[in-house]
Structure 1
Amino acid sequence: MPEDTHGVDRRRLLSRLGGDFQLDAARRVARSMSRDVATVLVFLEINRANVAALTASREPIAEPHAGVPGLPPDHMREPVSIYLAARNLGMPYETTRRHVKKLTQVGMCETVPGGVIIPARAFLDPRLMAVAAENWAATVEFVQAAGRLGVSDSGLRQPASPDQFRQVNRAVSAYCLETACHMSRVMDLEPLAVLILRAVNLANVRNLTQDPDAALAHAGLADILPDAERRPISVYGLAKYLLLPYETVRRSLLQLEAKGLVRRDKGGLIVPAEVVARPAVVAGIAELVALTEILLSDLAAAGLAYQPDS
């Protein structure tokens, strides 16, 4: 997406749409596994590493598992060490190890020679299959919402492949991971703190994405909503939204407050406009937009693009 689309800079708008999409996808997976969003990030990172060599190609997976197109069987999955998964996530080793243990206890992760894998049978769990269907519907709506607001990659649309469903879900999983890890590096924060910070900011400005006119009026990188117009969110509301223990959220917020990234305002928490306007944050948002553009391009290449008449 160019900086100026039909005369309007839509980069901050696309960042908000992508942020809501990312967090909602993570929440759906967390609910299905009865785990928090930090565990979901570890789950996604292990699976990404397991199938990275396979997904580098757009060719359909020739050997499906249990008759499911695009689902590689265990012997095709490359194990990853907990150390490497932690490094890729920017998460402490012990924290990552605890999340791996949680996943292993519920059969969502398995230790094999060379490291750990997310076994193919995990994706056949009815709960995860239901989430995959929900993510598909949410992805279609995300593409349509972006298109209606002037952001579209329809020209790159290709015919759907035999494993389109899995290709789309893999692209969405990669996006959720990459955006979290990217902001973790930009803000020098652990991924969980990044998700909490992003959730606060999105809650502050969610009214903009729900109103098309307001969305377009605050669409560009320079269009920052002033503090007086931000809608605060409580610690309890934040914990409930992210499916995290209250104390976990409270401790992370204390760290974010100490760094000046979050402020307690009347009615709850806000990310001040001053923070959103910092050059490093603006540059990070521009790079998040680039990742969102890549997602839209990948979805179009998989056969899923904006259809104006839908």
Structure 2
Amino acid sequence: MERHLAIRKLSRLGNEFYLRASLAVMDLTPGQYERGIVALLLLKRCAPDWIEGRRIRRPRDITRTSSIKAVATSLGRPYPTINRHFHKMIADGLCVETEQGYAISNTEANELRVVRILTTAHDSLVRLAEDIAAGLGLHRTDGKPTPELVTLTIAAALDMWLVPFEYARKPVTDWTSKLVWLAIIVANVRHITDDPELSERWAYDTVPDHHRVPMTVRTIAGITRLSYGTVFRHCRQLEAQDVIEYDRGGWLLGNRQLLSDDVDQNMRDILGYYTRRLNELSAAGFDTGNPDAFYLGPRPEHVCVPPDRPSRE
């Protein structure tokens, strides 16, 4: 990628977007992260039913449905596995089976969590635009927002949230391992992401290992809401895949693991994808230079990373 594009800085901000998305999934199906991914894909298919202009609300009628086979195919998971998740979601009241197929349930009891995650999806994408628009040189618009802008923004956000599960599955294909890995990647350099001077210093180049903050299993568990034992097991799996390493009493994504043409190409691809999707929204009236006008709720903050003190675990 061209030298003038701050690829590392922009990638750090993109990782913040994906960590925020992952924890929103945990809110949708508490304690069942992988089931939440399945629910998220179903929600992507059903979301237009829940949106009316700028308002997100419970629909009276269900018109958008999907099938277990379609979800399994999109996520690259065995049909029996996805089938089990669907039946658990039905028992939980999140999903309903209709004559046309499966849908997110439109019961009053289900309304709050669905409205919350759709609002989070919308506003997380607005926050991403706020963070990266200037760095990517996105299009500005003087046009009036179209009536469909909220629907288009939520559709784009859910598409983007699902990219690691539908398309960019490698190098970490286990979904829970992917969450742990992402938390480590973000937390290692959060002090740089949040510091304007350090962020610019490492805008174009990888952050040296001695500037990365290793994360203990306990802190990773606090970020991800997974149990200590689950995080420990997945850290060992990630270490075996050579995508993290243990250093100075904690886990980190090492500099050597970032110095490859494949990593650079993946970064180029995802930044190009951000550019395309945000420019599409700009064409519908989203002003990337004035994101504050487009939030539906409070501006999302970065996921909390508690202070850590590396120690042997």
Q: Please indicate the TM-score interval, normalised by the length of the shorter structure.
A: 0.7 to 0.9
2:46–2:64: 8 Å Cα contact kept in structure 1?
Answer: yes
How much identity, in percent, do the aligned residues show?
A: 24
Q: Secondary structure at the match of 1:264?
A: strand
Distance 2:25 2:256 in 1: 33
State the AA in 2 paired with 1:219. A
- Does residue 1:172 correspond to 2:154, yes or no? no
Give TM-score scaled by structure 2 length. Answer: 0.78
Q: Distance in 2 between matches of 1:139 and 1:188?
A: 24
Q: Which residue of 2 aligns with 1:145?
A: 131
Distance 2:124 2:273 in 1: 18
Q: Distance in 2 between matches of 1:157 and 1:247?
A: 52
State the shift of 1:274 in Å.
1.2
1:14-25 correspondence to structure 2 within 5 Å: 14-25=10-21
Return the letter of the residue paired with 1:10: A
Q: Give the letter aligned to residue 260 of structure 1.
A: D
Using the TM superposition, give the Cα deviation of residue 109 of structure 1 relative to its aligned residue in structure 2, in angstroms.
1.2
Could you tell me how far 1:285 is from its partner in structure 2?
2.1
- Is residue 31 of structure 1 aligned with residue 15 of structure 2? no
Alpha-carbon distance between aligned partners in 1 of 2:274 and 2:39, rounded to the nearest angstrom: 21
CA distance in 2 between counterparts of 1:152 and 1:129 reads 32
Distance 2:279 2:164 in 1: 16
- Secondary structure at the aligned position of 2:191 is classed as helix
User: Pick from 163, 169, 180: which aligns with 2:148?
Assistant: 163
Normalised by the length of structure 1, the TM-score is 0.79
User: Residue 251 of structure 1 is aligned with which of 212, 233, 241?
Assistant: 233
Contact (CA 8 Å) 1:152, 1:306: kept in 2 or not?
A: no
Instruction: State the aligned residue count.
Output: 292
Distance change in 2, residues 1:19/1:180 (3 Å): farther
C-alpha contact 1:226 1:273 (8 A) present in aligned 2:
yes
Report the AA paired with residue 39 of structure 1.
R
**Aligned residue runs from structure 1 range 273-292, under 5 A:** 273-292=255-274
Q: Distance in 1 between matches of 2:110 and 2:144?
A: 26
1:245-292 Cα offsets, whole Å, 9 max, x none, are: 333333222221111111112231111111111332322222222222
Q: Extract unaligned runs of 5+ from structure 2.
A: 293-313
For 2:40, the equivalent position in structure 1 comes to 44
Q: Is 2:56–2:119's contact at 8 Å kept on the other side of the alignment?
A: no
Alpha-carbon contact 1:103-1:109 (below 8 Å) kept: yes
8 Å Cα contact 2:188-2:215 kept in structure 1: yes
1:58 is matched with: none
Q: Which residue of 2 aligns with 1:118?
A: 104
Unaligned 5+ segments in structure 1 are: 56-60
Which structure 2 residues correspond to residues 82-231 of structure 1 after superposition, within 5 A?
83-113=69-99, 115-121=101-107, 125-147=111-133, 149-155=134-140, 158-184=143-169, 186-187=170-171, 189-220=173-204, 223-231=205-213
Deviation, 1:94, is 4.7
Aligned to 1:242: 224
**Cα pair 1:70 1:163 within 8 Å, conserved:** no
Change (3 A) 1:272 1:112: same
Closer, same or farther in 2 for the Cα pair 1:105/1:239, shift >3 Å? farther
**RMSD, aligned CA:** 3.3
Instruction: Tell me, yes or no, if the aligned pair for 1:233 and 1:268 is still in contact at 8 Å.
Output: yes
